[in-house]
Amino acid sequence: MRPKHPWVIFPLIVILSIIATPARPQGLEIRGTVTGRDGLPKRQVSINLQGPKRFITISNAKGEFVLKGVEPGVYEVSLMQGDKMHKFSLNITGQSLDLRVPW
């Protein structure tokens, strides 16, 4: 017995294979800690990455932060806390980033 609509099977297989393909992650999830020159964690530090894209976050009470969707590349990094600021360039290639501020 032949199916009544054989032309439906191929598009159905294509659609199901697209749906079943897992999505690729978009960029890196970078976790890190901001510490001061004394080695203690710095909380409420604004972390600003400017590069292929722009990312901004704030460190928590333990100095920890997370940035999601970061593409590898060279970024200008600005760390700000109150009236204090520290700027530098950084080539981001991995998923861990520990930052030290001079105050």
Question: Is position 48 within any domain?
Answer: yes
Question: What's 61's domain CATH number?
Answer: 2.60.40.1120
Question: Is position 8 within any domain?
Answer: no
What is the tens place of the pLDDT at every residue in 60-90? 999 999 999 999 999 999 999 999 999 999 9
Question: Is position 56 within any domain?
Answer: yes
What is the tens place of the pLDDT at every residue in 6-22? 665 666 566 666 666 55
Report pLDDT for 45: 97
Q: Are 90 and 32 in contact (CB under 8 A)?
A: no
Q: H helices within the chain, ranges in order?
A: 9-20
Question: Is position 30 within any domain?
Answer: yes
Q: Residue 29 belongs to what domain range? A: 25-100
Number of compact structural domains in the chain = 1
Report pLDDT for 89: 96
Report pLDDT for 95: 83
pTM of the model: 0.72
31-44 exposure pattern, b = at least 16 Cβ within 10 A, e = fewer? ebbbbbeeeeebee
